[in-house]
Each structure stands twice: as structure tokens, then as C-alpha cells.
């Protein structure tokens, strides 16, 4: 048995790329029977009438046939929903992750570089590594702010083919100013992708700017507005860019049920928009109550989550994370990433009841004033 294992290890060492062997798999913690406030999901389900309309739509589907490879009806419907011009195209992916992969594949010439800020969405770095691309970043300060001049200087020096700007940023929750993003776009030597995964909770968007800047694409997802189970992301940008990236998309990447479900969601979009508005209101109230806890610093957020930093004089972020987990509440411990995220926790805005239980759990773990 040991001989067979050694043979497998030797084969892996000789065949698998060094950078792949060096990567840890993306870990998703188990969450059965937990209050789940770790993954930026919408806590609200669909009302019964919308659920019935969805089930009726699914009942019409022919699952023995392959899905529409171009998602034609969904493409046309979303194009109208976003009020896009004929010069603007759409590409659908299995979540944003697939789109990130396609983008990096498209520009990954020898010595090409991918660039972003740090910390930011971990998949930019991970997927670049998967594909053997050189990834570089410029750090935020301890208030999660970016020195844009330093970023532009580094960008000019590194000459990245692709720059990702999460707007708002994950895991910090804040957004660069519009003017700072425009400065980056105008100075970029290559393509700039504005990742608007949390657009439903923010006050600004660059979707319409894709007409003004030929090097700009905008990436979004349906996940944060209550459809995380669909795994549906999309890319907006000039038709010429979309056509090139679409060449790398595998056939039938968006299944029949996902296409149909997204059509139902778009037909009832005011319900999802109302839920997003409720989450924004809940975010403000939760931030206020978190700030009243002893030893807790709360950072501004334009997303559906809040980052807090714990005072070094009290329990560590890991202690609090484990304490909440022990009573059935799952949040995200960011402290393991170190740097500006030291002793930080990320909390998804839940329902009013979930937020209340979170606050109660935190109060029990933190020292009294």
C-alpha cells in the first residue's frame, strides 16, 4: 500500500504544475443547522406567489435537451433590463468565478500580469495562479483605503494586461471613489474589470461607462440578490471584447434551469430590489449596534456585510469566531489573512432575527464596559 501511495506522489510531483501543488483548495466550512452569516447571501426567500411562478416555469422545461448554448432569451431580457446599447454585449458565466477564469485566459500571454489591490476577492489571485499568470497587488492601509497614486505608479511599472477593481471591495466592504476608479481606468495599460458583485447595495455603477471607456468591462452576479444557488454571473462590455472572451466559454455552461430561474427573477425584479433595500436598512442598524459593543471598531460598508476589528485588549477575532460557532452562528474570520485584516471579522447582514441573535452572541463573548 505504501509503495502504491509513493508512486502516486511521484506521479503528481512530475506531472502537476508546481504552482498548482502549492495552492490550498478553497475551503467552504460546513454550515448545517447554523445561522449562516459568513457568505454574503440574501437572508430572504421568495414569497409564495413568486415561488409558484418559478415552479410553473420549471415544469415547462425539457430536461432531456441541452440548454440554449447562448442563453438567448435571458441575454435579450437582461440586455433590456440593464438598458444597454446595441454596442454593448453580455456574457454569462457559472458565477463570477468562471468569468474571472475566462478573462485571465484571454489575456494570459507569456509574461502577462494580473493586478489588483490587497486584500480583495481571493479568486483573482487563485485563478491567476491556476492559469500560471503573474499576479501582483498594492496593499490598502489599515483603514482599508487605497493610495491611488501608488497604485497607478505600480500599474505603470508592472504593465498588467488585466486589472480587477472590486467595487465595493470584498472583504473590506468599502468602495473606491468614482473619480479614483476613473483615474485607474485612464492610466491602465490594459483591460480594467470593475467587479460589481455587490451593486445592489451600493450607490454607483460603471455599467453605462463601458460605452465611454473601450478598456472597461463590468462583472456582476445574481448571487448577492438572493439567487446564490443559481451560480449565475455576467460580464458587460463592448461587443468586440465580449466576442473574444466568449470564444473561451465552454458550451452549455449555463444550464436550462438556471436560465429559466433567472428569467423569472428578472420578471419580478421589484421584489428582489425591495429585499436589497431592506438589507441596506438592516446594515445601517446592525452597524450602529455593533459600534455600541465594547472594543469593537466598525468599518463603513457599501456591501451586504460589515467588517469589524476587535480591540487587542479583549478576546481575539479567532476566540470570538469560535465562540459564536459554538452557539450555532457562523461568520467569517479574516484575521488569518494577517496584515490590515489582523483581528478582523466579516459579518453578513442577516434577517432582523439573525442579526439580533448575532448581537446577543457577541455581547456574551466581549467584556462588559
Q: What is the pLDDT along the chain (369 residues), one digit of tens a residue?
A: 565 657 888 888 888 888 788 877 777 777 778 899 999 999 999 999 999 999 999 999 999 999 999 999 999 999 999 999 999 999 999 999 999 999 999 999 999 999 999 999 999 999 999 999 999 999 999 999 999 999 999 999 999 999 999 999 999 999 999 999 999 999 999 999 999 999 999 999 999 999 999 999 999 999 999 999 999 999 999 999 999 999 999 999 999 999 999 999 999 999 999 999 999 999 999 999 999 999 999 999 999 999 999 998 889 999 999 999 999 999 999 998 989 999 999 999 999 999 999 999 999 999 876
Preceding amide of 171 cis, omega within 30: yes
Residue 204 and residue 196: Cα distance in Å, rounded?
9
**Which residues on adjacent β-strands are paired with residue 114?**
135, 162
Specify the residue for cell string 503528481: 12
Classified as helix, coil or strand, 263 is helix
User: Counting beta carbons within 10 angstroms of the beta carbon of residue 219, is it exposed (0 to 12), middle (13 to 18) or buried (19 or more)?
Assistant: buried
Domain 2-46+271-365 maps to which CATH number in 2.130.10.10, 3.90.1150.10, 3.30.70.2190, 3.20.20.190? 3.90.1150.10
Domain 65-268 maps to which CATH number in 3.40.640.10, 3.10.20.310, 3.20.20.70, 3.40.190.290? 3.40.640.10
Domain ranges of the chain: 2-46+271-365, 65-268
Residue 18 and residue 239: Cα distance in Å, rounded?
36
Q: 0.75 exceeded by the pTM? A: yes
Burial 130-152, CB ≥16 within 10 A → b, else e: bbebbbbbbebeeebebebeebb
Write out the three cell numbers for 236.
Answer: 458587460
Amino acid at each position: 500500500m505504501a509503495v502504491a501511495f509513493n508512486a502516486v506522489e511521484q506521479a503528481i510531483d512530475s506531472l502537476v504544475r508546481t504552482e498548482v501543488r502549492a495552492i490550498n483548495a478553497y475551503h467552504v466550512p460546513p454550515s448545517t443547522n447554523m445561522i449562516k452569516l459568513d457568505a454574503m447571501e440574501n437572508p430572504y426567500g421568495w414569497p409564495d406567489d413568486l415561488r409558484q411562478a418559478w415552479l410553473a416555469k420549471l415544469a415547462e422545461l425539457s430536461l432531456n435537451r441541452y440548454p440554449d448554448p447562448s442563453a438567448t432569451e435571458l441575454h435579450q431580457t437582461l440586455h433590456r433590463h440593464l438598458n444597454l446599447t446595441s454596442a454593448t454585449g453580455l456574457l454569462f458565466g457559472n458565477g463570477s468565478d468562471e468569468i474571472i477564469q475566462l478573462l485571465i485566459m484571454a489575456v494570459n500571454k507569456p509574461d502577462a500580469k494580473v493586478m489588483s489591490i490587497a486584500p480583495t476577492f481571493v479568486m483573482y489571485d487563485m485563478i491567476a495562479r491556476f492559469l500560471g499568470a503573474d499576479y501582483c497587488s498594492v496593499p490598502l492601509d489599515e483603514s482599508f483605503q487605497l493610495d491611488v497614486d501608488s497604485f497607478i505608479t505600480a500599474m505603470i511599472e508592472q504593465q498588467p494586461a488585466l486589472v480587477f477593481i472590486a467595487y465595493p471591495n470584498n472583504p473590506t466592504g468599502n468602495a473606491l471613489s468614482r473619480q479614483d476608479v476613473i483615474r485607474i481606468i485612464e492610466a491602465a495599460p490594459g483591460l480594467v474589470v470593475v467587479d460589481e458583485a455587490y451593486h445592489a447595495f451600493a450607490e454607483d455603477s460603471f455599467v453605462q461607462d463601458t460605452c465611454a471607456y473601450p478598456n472597461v468591462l463590468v462583472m456582476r452576479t445574481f448571487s448577492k440578490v438572493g439567487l446564490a444557488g443559481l451560480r449565475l454571473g455576467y460580464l458587460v462590455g463592448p461587443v468586440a471584447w465580449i466576442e473574444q472572451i466568449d470564444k473561451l466559454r465552454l458550451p452549455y455552461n449555463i444550464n436550462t434551469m438556471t436560465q429559466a430561474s433567472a428569467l423569472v427573477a428578472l420578471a419580478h425584479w421589484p421584489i428582489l430590489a425591495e429585499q436589497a433595500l431592506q438589507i441596506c436598512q438592516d446594515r445601517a442598524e446592525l452597524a450602529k449596534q455593533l459600534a455600541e459593543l465594547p472594543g469593537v471598531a466598525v468599518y463603513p460598508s457599501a456591501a451586504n456585510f460589515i467588517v469589524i476589528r476587535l480591540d487587542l485588549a479583549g478576546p481575539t477575532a479567532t476566540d470570538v469566531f469560535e465562540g459564536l460557532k459554538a452557539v450555532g452562528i457562523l461568520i467569517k474570520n479574516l484575521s488569518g489573512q494577517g496584515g490590515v485584516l489582523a483581528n478582523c471579522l466579516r459579518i453578513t447582514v442577516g434577517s432582523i432575527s439573525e442579526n439580533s441573535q448575532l448581537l446577543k452572541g457577541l455581547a456574551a463573548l466581549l467584556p462588559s464596559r
